[in-house]
Structure 1
Amino acid sequence: MTKDMYQAMFRIIKKRNKKEKFIKSNWLDMSAKIKSSSIDVVIGDFVIGNMGGFENKFLKEIKRVLKIDGNFITRMHYRDKNKFKTADYYKELEKLSDMVKLKKISIKEASSYFAMKIIFSDKSRKVSISLHLEKIKNLVKEIKSKRDIIIKKIFKQFKKSWWLMKDKYWTNYEKKALEGMVKKHFKIAKVLYSHDYDMAKVSPIYLLKK
């Protein structure tokens, strides 16, 4: 969770509707807080990749809390070996800088896209910013030697939002493996693709039925 995400969640919890109830629990075992077959819909953004080898246990627990006709809505990212291989970080920042200048994306969005490019450029399933520290150090030197103000702002936002979680690891599966895992617990009712950002091609939203 980035600093921005944490602050947004804190605001939602603090200013929640009186009818809403905040539950603090473990994704892998919510039995102490949530009864079986009691929830209509569970929504989770990129949650499966956060489970660190406990994906099946997590999916089983989500299925447990859902009602018989319940739905699990989640966005999932899957590996594409032929896409997002970032060989030159500075060139990637130049592309993002151009998009910011054309007002297609904001500085904050550009920093997140850059972080995603780094994280998901690994060939292995285990991905992390920490696996790219040497290349990032070299990038810092290159940024300092250039005059592109927008690139400097994007990288500054990247450090502010993402550097706190540089040591975090995610698990990134191929599409076939990811969907195969999900199908053990749910029926895939619908897969929705956004068209407003590049990585949406490998980050669809899944509507899963119990």
Structure 2
Amino acid sequence: MTLSPETKDWIAAQTGHPVRDEHLWTAALTHGSTGEDFDYQRLEFLGDRVLGLSIAEWLYEKGGDTEGKLSQRLNALVSRQSCARVAREIDLSAHMRLGKQARADGGLDSDNILGDIIESLIGACQVDHGFEVARALVRKWFGDAVEGRAGRKKHPKSALQEWAAGNRRKPPEYELLDRSGPDHASRFTVRVSVRGVGEATGEGDSKQQAETAAATAFLDQHG
């Protein structure tokens, strides 16, 4: 199994280095539901430790806090929710490999799966490029959180849901309008609507990416 050119380019853009071991990165993106004889779990084990060490070192460098406060910050920064937030910011779901049932069950937007694969990618980076590159990747992905900027820019779908609630509207409804192209290079078109307000459409390489684009377009029009 090989990576698509788009995924290879995406990985290279994240790490700043070309993919060397393609099977390694394929495993890092593969959920057990695919039925493959490999998945992300071993790389997640490694990536979890690399993430923890990288963040701990970073917090130590910043100084000022007691050991207790450092531990609290570390636990929050490496939490499943924190990792899933990073995953959504970098559009990880467009590159994940899940089985049909896991996709149907919402696995592409699961905090647990997104967080696990963020850690497995860090593990793959460690194996493919070494600790210095893996640490740089962690600092790139978690910079906003460590520097206290996390949450200032919400994910478009979350922002739209909050906008609808704030305007006393029902939650946004997403509808898949079109899927075209082969399985390995599908293109999705999604419409989002908020009853009594309007609608917008978006396109992407995954249903989640198209939903994000549609939410962004709606907020641009009505936000």
Report the TM-score when normalising by structure 1. 0.30
Report which structure shows greater RCO (CA 8 Å, sep ≥6): 1
Bigger strand fraction: 1
Report the TM-score when normalising by structure 2. 0.28
